[in-house]
Amino acid sequence: MAAVIEIENLRKTYVSLLRGKRVALNGFDMQVTAGQVHGFLGPNGSGKTTTLRTLLGLARADSGRMFLFGQPVPQALPAVVHRFGAIVESPQFFRNFTGRRTLSLLARVGGLPDARVDQVLELVGMRERGDEKVKTYSLGMKQRLAVATALLKSPELLILDEPANGLDPAGIREMRDLVRGLAAAGSTVLVSSHLLDEIEQICDSVTIISRGKRVAAGPVADVLATQDKGEHLVGVRDDDRDRAAELLSAAGLSVVPRDGRLVVGGVSDPARVSEVLGSAGVWLTELSPLTPDLESVFLTITGTTPEPGTHRPVDESRDEPWPAPTEAPAKAEELSQ
């Protein structure tokens, strides 16, 4: 399958007079295959929005290579811009326009038939509210309107930065169905989100970024498998628990008690657990695999598992000292971004 997005060794440093240099992307790589829903995950400040802004020509990279539909960007953006839709920062709408008027205006600018407006309003579940003014919309409705604007040109690729932001549970489910529906119709979707269970449900593949670098990528199942330690939840009668722990430890398995049961790691064949215990007259009441979910994998890989009593800095990027006076002064464009 062809790669719709390819990013190689992308570097981006922000420079500000107040804070000096800040490395946002530190040699980041990503590939998104055609027809997939691809999740883009990372802790706060890890570089997701910077990646998307750089890919779309809204910020300039220090170095690295990027391709959309096989064409180098930002140079080829004018040639491919009609093939993708993106919502990277909360778009601003005219407050006194209705949703429909907003979309009609954009459709006209893009040379699209007005009939497309009704289609996209329907797609994002806003058909009934389309004739109300934007200023009466909730955050979630504005989010849907934003998605509708990105869908107007029936893009082959849709890039959504935190599309579930502000949506209630029903809205999140609708967004999920919308994204899956687009993929089923042949579109490619890149979606960044902090909602890991959502990503696990809707994405075929993921890229996880931490401190401006890719730390994991691939089909969701493969990424989950990297952290699969063969853990099983083992239940025995209360009286047998200590003995079971001893037996399993003696058999070379790791054993940690949890909520009246034992978490046993390093199990390549579950039959071994029942064999070890059964041969000593200890009988199982439960034996179930503990497969990692995306949230636990994410927390482990990015090193952001909360530790009771400690606070994690909210921003992951690396500060660098202000450049020595001999270095070239930062460009005005960089300072303003």
Which strand (E) or helix (H) includes residue 90?
none
* Ranges within 312-331 binding ligand ATP (CB under 6 A): 315, 317
Distance of closest approach, residue 246 Cβ to ligand ATP, in angstroms: 46
Per the DSSP assignment, residues forming a β-bridge with 20 are 16
44 binds ligand ATP (CB under 6 A): yes
Distance of closest approach, residue 234 Cβ to ligand ATP, in angstroms: 38
DSSP 76-133: THHHHGGGEEEE-S-----TTSBHHHHHHHHHHHTT--THHHHHHHHHTT-GGGTTSB
Residue with tokens 């190689």: 8
| Three-state secondary-structure class, residue 178 | helix
Which strand (E) or helix (H) includes residue 310?
none
* Ranges within 153-192 binding ligand ATP (CB under 6 A): none
Q: How far apart are alpha carbons 82 and 110 in whole angstroms? A: 9
Closer residue to ligand ATP (CB): 279 or 336: 336
Closer residue to ligand ATP (CB): 42 or 140: 42
288 binds ligand ATP (CB under 6 A): no
60 binds ligand ATP (CB under 6 A): no
| Cα maximum dimension of the chain | 78
143 binds ligand ATP (CB under 6 A): no
Closer residue to ligand ATP (CB): 191 or 282: 191
78 contacts: CB under 8 Å, gap ≥ 6: none
Per the DSSP assignment, residues forming a β-bridge with 30 are 7
Q: How far apart are alpha carbons 302 and 314 in whole angstroms? A: 13
Tell which one of 45, 166, 235, 265 touches ligand ATP (CB under 6 A): 45
Distance of closest approach, residue 42 Cβ to ligand ATP, in angstroms: 5
193 binds ligand ATP (CB under 6 A): no
Tell which one of 39, 42, 171, 292 touches ligand ATP (CB under 6 A): 42
50 binds ligand ATP (CB under 6 A): yes
Q: Do you find a cis peptide bond into 329, omega within 30 degrees of 0?
A: no
14 binds ligand ATP (CB under 6 A): yes
Give the pair of three-digit tokens for residue 162.
């935190």
Closer residue to ligand ATP (CB): 40 or 67: 40
Q: How far apart are alpha carbons 62 and 318 in whole angstroms? A: 16
Distance of closest approach, residue 106 Cβ to ligand ATP, in angstroms: 25
* Cβ count within 10 A of residue 53: 20
Per the DSSP assignment, residues forming a β-bridge with 214 are 209
Which strand (E) or helix (H) includes residue 170?
helix 169-184
Closer residue to ligand ATP (CB): 49 or 104: 49
Tell which one of 24, 124, 203, 216 touches ligand ATP (CB under 6 A): 24
Q: How far apart are alpha carbons 32 and 117 in whole angstroms? A: 29
The percent of the chain in helix, strand and coil, each rounded to the nearest 5, is: 35, 30, 35
90 binds ligand ATP (CB under 6 A): no
214 binds ligand ATP (CB under 6 A): no
Tell which one of 22, 116, 153, 176 touches ligand ATP (CB under 6 A): 22
Closer residue to ligand ATP (CB): 106 or 217: 217
Distance of closest approach, residue 309 Cβ to ligand ATP, in angstroms: 24
Q: Which residues bind ligand ATP (CB under 6 A)?
A: 14, 16, 22, 24, 42, 44-50, 315, 317, 337
